[in-house]
Structure 1
């Protein structure tokens, strides 16, 4: 009689893989974003362009200062020139487009399918993408904020005195710019997640950031002037604009409070991330 020997099967297979680590997800999304040659080029051009705009605005204020009326010389607001609202609408629109293309581009190329085969956890993938986008655009916003103010001080300091990096309120302006840029990018990502069409997404983002702030100030049916102002103050553009005001001389109409402006930006960021992370779970790619 012979005895058959059996070998116990291993309890686990060496090839079984666990959930993707956050470090790997963030690294993969960083590579996707930064490996596109257009990304560093666009970000670099934006930074240089807005530093130049700040220089030109400061030079104009410096040269025209002797002709200012007395009340303007008593209460100057260099931040109003360094962070000119209409000019910064283009930065918002570009940041929104960068965020939108990070999502729409993957859907158009089919890369999103490959990504989700490797990492089926859709929510984690999109959250990692949002985190990388936030970090990159926040650095851009910080450099723009510090650079614009630094250049303004360097140009105007011999005529318009009393301002520095310790001026009360200036770090609110810089922080607001640092937050505003990624908020616009996250809004663009949410728009791309909902629309899922490259041309339609870009059109919607540009219309929202370039036309929206102007359209909401136009006479709208069934809305009073105060209601239109309240509606406008909820937009990221006007929330950032409120944070950049350092002189009461520029409060020419109904504006929201500073806490309300921070809350508005935070709500846009949270809602945008929520849309980006959750909607893809219920859609085919």
Structure 2
């Protein structure tokens, strides 16, 4: 009698929900930086300060404009121009998000932990830049909305808020804040000190360009036009001279990219 043939049974793994692929190295670094940014109270306090300062500045500028608008000298002030003018002060609160994102880690020594988790220093800085650019852009939109809501009723009949122009001004303000936030991040990676970084930003965005423009010498004025604050101002105002607005935006973006490149070089050649 023939023995029954042995039957080999192979177990088949039970079908289950397919697991999502792990995030790429940059995506993981961005997620980590996103979590770190929102886990500290300074982020929330900085954003709240920016909202309150925007409301106060926009309201004050709107009052000045309304008082200057008399029957003898009637005029119409756009709400978007008030939003843009308010950036001259509020930008320094917003860019604190960028510089603190890296200088705080230098001060506390937690950057060593960050670099152990993500050894690529360039990837760490790029992830920080992505997060800061996204957060400051959205914050810029919120601040623009706050400025519009405050300035419009104060200006009254002497104010105008065309939808297209107002949206353009608010979006341009958000783009400007995103770029100066990245600029602050790059400089913070180079200088490592929040106070020193803020001083350099204040000089580069306002003090040095104004000093160059003050004498009224054409050559010095042209040099000042290349500084990030002046280039951003031409972009925000939509000036056609000395260059189109898009050139001002590109100049500001170039300064931000250069600061990031300098920050990456500093991180690669110096200990954390």
TM class by shorter chain equals 0.7 to 0.9
- CA displacement, residues 127-172 of structure 1 (integer Å, 9 cap, x when unaligned): 1111111111111111122332343333334x13653223xx4333
2:229 is equivalent to residue 237 of structure 1: yes
> What CA distance in whole angstroms lies between the structure 1 residues aligned with 2:36 and 2:196?
22
Could you say which residue in structure 2 is the equivalent of 1:94? 93
Match of 1:5 in 2: none
State the 1:26 CA deviation: 1.6
TM-score, length basis structure 2: 0.79
Q: Distance in 1 between matches of 2:162 and 2:23?
A: 49
1:271 to 255, 258, 265: 258
Given the superposition, is the C-alpha separation of residues 107 and 174 from structure 1 closer, same or farther in structure 2, using an over 3 Å criterion? same
- Report the number of matched residues: 251
Q: Does 1:129 align with 2:128?
A: yes
CA–CA separation in structure 2 for the residues paired with 1:28 and 1:109: 17
Correspondence 1:186-265 to 2 at 5 A: 186-219=182-215, 225-245=217-237, 255-265=242-252
2: CA distance, partners of 1:282 / 1:139 = 33
Structure 1: where are the runs of 5+ without partners? 1-17
Query: Is 1:111 aligned with 2:94?
Result: no
- Please identify, of 192-201 and 175-184, the stretch whose mean Cα deviation from structure 2 is larger: 192-201
Deviation at 1:76, TM superposition (A): 4.3
* Distance change >3 Å, CA 175–CA 68, structure 1 → 2: farther
CA contact (8 A) 1:92 1:209 kept: no
Q: Secondary structure at the residue paired with 1:66? A: coil
**CA spacing shift, 1:237–1:68, aligned 2, 3 Å:** farther
- SS of equivalent to 1:256: coil
CA distance in 1, matches of 2:30, 2:72: 51
Using structure 1 for the length normalisation, give the TM-score.
0.76
Unaligned runs of 5+ in 2: 1-21
* Pair 1:30 & 2:31 matched: no
Distance 2:225 2:126 in 1: 28
Inter-CA distance 178–203: structure 2 relative to 1 (3 Å threshold): same
Which range is displaced more, 258-267 or 126-135? Answer: 258-267
Alignment pair present for 1:152 and 2:151: yes
Distance 1:117 1:144, change over 3 A: same
Provide the rounded CA distance (Å) in 2 between the counterparts of 1:206 and 1:146.
25
**Counterpart Cα distance in 1 of 2:121 and 2:139:** 27
The answer to which of 129-138 and 236-245 deviates more is 236-245
Deviates more, 1:56-65 or 1:122-131: 56-65
Instruction: For CA contacts below 8 A with separation 6 or more, give which structure has more relative contact order.
Output: 1
1:57-112 Cα shifts (integer Å, max 9, x gaps): 22343344234525xx2x6444433422xx53332333333322221221121111
